[in-house]
């Protein structure tokens, strides 16, 4: 009995020592703040009142705020709980893409030809290689077909190959719902629509290039003997801008599969992409086995991350200038643009908070950066889970951000 009592006292002392190392102590669902005469203490006191609102009797909260200037945690509430991030998943995809692909990376859609041209006839085949470029437009497809005319081709004797081997054939992400409003995840799309074939045939007809018809379109790998005739490209920052500012899911998935294609595996799938993201998670000091990366956009029901992971990745990005220089301009700015254009208006957070929003059924999230009144750079992640109305989570997130900025 005496030995049990001594063990109980020992473990109690250990736990108390661990608690003293934290940025503040917990009392039930409350924060015991630092000295309330300081900005940090007053901020913690105000957030304490927010996390004790009645909404948290029936919903879950994950909240983590870290001071990058001082290198210390300021607020930790369920920050290691695995939750669904919604579109804050795009933060993970963006950082992974910039880290592994690089800021100079370009997305390609290529037109190749085989054979030779005699008497204005291409005695060979035409091949379009899909690079999963979400920015490929109708006008650019027209320019590709015009390239045939420009080299003197008036007629096609062979077939038209569609090379879609860049990615797996699944049209939806792992864990997506049947009623999600999505577009097919295919490597050859025009203006985010699955009508590449009809567009090509229409444009060839407009160019008065004969011999092209639907029965001569073959979905297969481009012949190895093909040579490049036209290459349409877009930069990674063009993709990031729409992916983050407008929270475009297809754009996020396109970058996700750019990561997958780095493996050299054809077709590449989710597992190849997550392998590269796992590398970054390890670089932050966390264990990727503790999380699940299901897709690039955050639509999946199977994504499970934590506020701690999002903050660690955002800190990793901020302290790596090549990543920061591409990530920061892509994030929505409170009260200014993107998905935060109408939020936090006429508050200290307007023009200060740069963060990615997230919304799926039952989940609302916000992760990003702001600057405190003391001039310190703060990084934060907020996940509200189990909310019946998106506005509930957004209102809480805005209040937290206003508190961090005033």
Phi-psi region of 192 (alpha: psi -120 to 50; beta: other; left: phi over 0): left
Taking alpha carbons only, the member of 234, 254, 233 closest to residue 97 is 254
The CATH number of domain 106-235 is 3.50.80.20: yes
**Residue range 366-392: mean pLDDT, rounded:** 97
pLDDT at 24 over 80: no
Q: Looking up tokens 């189990």, which residue turns up?
A: 386
Given pLDDT bands bounded at 50, 70 and 90, which one contains residue 36? Answer: confident
pLDDT at 166 over 80: yes
- Please, what is the angle between helix 89-101 and helix 249-261, to 10°? 40
Burial of residue 291 (CB within 10 Å: 0-12, 13-18, 19+) is: buried
Count of CA atoms in the C-beta half-sphere (13 A) of 276:
27
Q: Which two tokens mark 221?
A: 């790998």
Helices assigned H by DSSP within 102-173? 138-150
Break the chain into its structural domains and give their ranges: 23-102+242-405, 106-235
CB 269 within 8 A of CB 260: yes
Displacement of CA 68 from its chain's centroid (Å): 22
Residue 231, SS3 per DSSP: strand
**Residue range 108-123: mean pLDDT, rounded:** 97
- Check residue 184 and give its pLDDT: 95
Q: What is the per-residue pLDDT across 241-291, written as a single tens digit (0 to 9) for each?
A: 999 999 999 999 999 999 999 999 899 999 999 999 999 999 999 999 999
Class of domain 23-102+242-405: alpha beta
Q: What are phi and psi of 148, to 5 degrees?
A: -65, -45
Given pLDDT bands bounded at 50, 70 and 90, which one contains residue 21? Answer: very low
- Check residue 17 and give its pLDDT: 34
pLDDT at 164 over 70: yes
pLDDT at 7 over 80: no
- Check residue 33 and give its pLDDT: 78
Q: What is the per-residue pLDDT across 347-369, written as a single tens digit (0 to 9) for each?
A: 999 999 999 999 999 999 999 99
Q: What is the per-residue pLDDT across 182-232, written as a single tens digit (0 to 9) for each?
A: 899 999 999 999 999 999 999 999 999 999 999 999 999 999 999 999 999
Helices assigned H by DSSP within 21-57? 39-51
- Distance from C-alpha of 171 to C-alpha of 184, rounded to nearest angstrom: 5
Taking alpha carbons only, the member of 118, 110, 183, 123 closest to residue 159 is 123
- Check residue 74 and give its pLDDT: 96
pLDDT at 130 over 80: yes
- pTM of the predicted protein model: 0.91
- Check residue 34 and give its pLDDT: 79
Per cent of the chain over pLDDT 70 is 92
Q: Is the peptide bond before 267 cis (omega within 30 degrees of 0)?
A: yes
**Residue range 9-35: mean pLDDT, rounded:** 49
Lowest-confidence segment of 43-57, 168-182, 228-242, 378-392 by average pLDDT: 168-182
Taking alpha carbons only, the member of 334, 385, 324, 387 closest to residue 356 is 334
Taking alpha carbons only, the member of 396, 398, 404, 333 closest to residue 53 is 396
**Residue range 112-138: mean pLDDT, rounded:** 97
- Check residue 133 and give its pLDDT: 98
- Distance from C-alpha of 351 to C-alpha of 332, rounded to nearest angstrom: 10
Compute how many other C-beta atoms are within 10 angstroms of the C-beta atom of residue 224: 6
CB 401 within 8 A of CB 370: yes
- Check residue 179 and give its pLDDT: 85
Q: What is the per-residue pLDDT across 302-322, written as a single tens digit (0 to 9) for each?
A: 999 999 999 999 999 999 999
304 Cβ contact partners less than 8 Å away, ≥ 6 residues apart: 82, 83, 84, 291, 292
**Residue range 80-88: mean pLDDT, rounded:** 98
pLDDT at 19 over 80: no
- Distance from C-alpha of 156 to C-alpha of 144, rounded to nearest angstrom: 15
- Check residue 29 and give its pLDDT: 55
pLDDT, mean over the chain:
92
Burial of residue 231 (CB within 10 Å: 0-12, 13-18, 19+) is: middle
**Residue range 137-146: mean pLDDT, rounded:** 97
């Amino acid at each position: 009995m005496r030995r049990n009592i001594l063990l109980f006292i020992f473990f109690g002392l250990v736990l108390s020592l661990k608690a003293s190392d934290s940025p503040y102590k917990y009392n039930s669902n409350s924060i015991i703040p630092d000295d309330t005469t300081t900005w940090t203490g007053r901020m913690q006191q105000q957030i304490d009142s927010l996390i004790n609102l009645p909404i948290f009797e029936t919903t879950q909260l994950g909240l983590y705020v870290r001071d990058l200037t001082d290198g210390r945690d300021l607020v930790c509430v369920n920050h290691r709980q695995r939750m669904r991030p919604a579109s804050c998943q795009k933060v993970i995809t963006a950082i992974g893409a910039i880290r592994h692909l690089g800021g100079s990376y370009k997305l390609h859609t290529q037109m190749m030809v085989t054979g030779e041209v005699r008497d204005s006839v291409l005695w060979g085949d035409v091949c379009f290689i899909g690079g999963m470029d979400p920015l490929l437009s109708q006008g650019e497809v027209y320019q590709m077909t015009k390239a045939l005319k420009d080299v003197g081709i008036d007629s096609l004797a062979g077939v038209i190959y569609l090379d879609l081997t860049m990615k797996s054939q699944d049209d939806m992400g792992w864990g997506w719902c049947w009623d999600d409003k999505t577009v097919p995840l295919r490597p050859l799309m025009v203006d985010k629509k699955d009508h590449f074939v009809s567009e090509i045939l229409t444009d060839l007809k407009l160019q008065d290039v004969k011999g092209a018809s639907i029965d001569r379109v073959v979905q297969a790998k481009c012949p190895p003997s093909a040579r490049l005739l036209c290459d349409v490209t877009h930069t990674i920052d063009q993709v990031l801008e729409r992916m983050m500012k407008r929270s475009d899911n297809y754009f996020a998935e396109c970058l996700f599969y750019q990561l997958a294609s780095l493996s050299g595996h054809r077709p590449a799938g989710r597992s190849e992409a997550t392998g590269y993201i796992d590398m970054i998670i390890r670089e932050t000091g966390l264990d990727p086995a503790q999380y699940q990366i299901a897709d690039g956009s955050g639509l999946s029901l199977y994504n499970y991350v934590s506020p701690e992971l999002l903050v660690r990745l955002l800190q990793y990005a901020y302290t790596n200038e090549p990543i920061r220089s591409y990530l920061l301009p892509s994030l929505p700015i409170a009260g200014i643009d993107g998905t935060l254009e109408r939020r936090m208006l006429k508050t200290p957070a307007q023009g200060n908070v740069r963060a990615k929003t997230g919304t799926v059924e039952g989940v609302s999230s916000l992760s990003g950066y702001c600057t405190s009144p003391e001039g310190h750079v703060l990084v934060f992640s907020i996940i509200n889970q189990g909310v019946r109305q998106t506005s509930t989570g957004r209102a809480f997130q805005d209040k937290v951000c206003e508190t961090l900025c005033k």
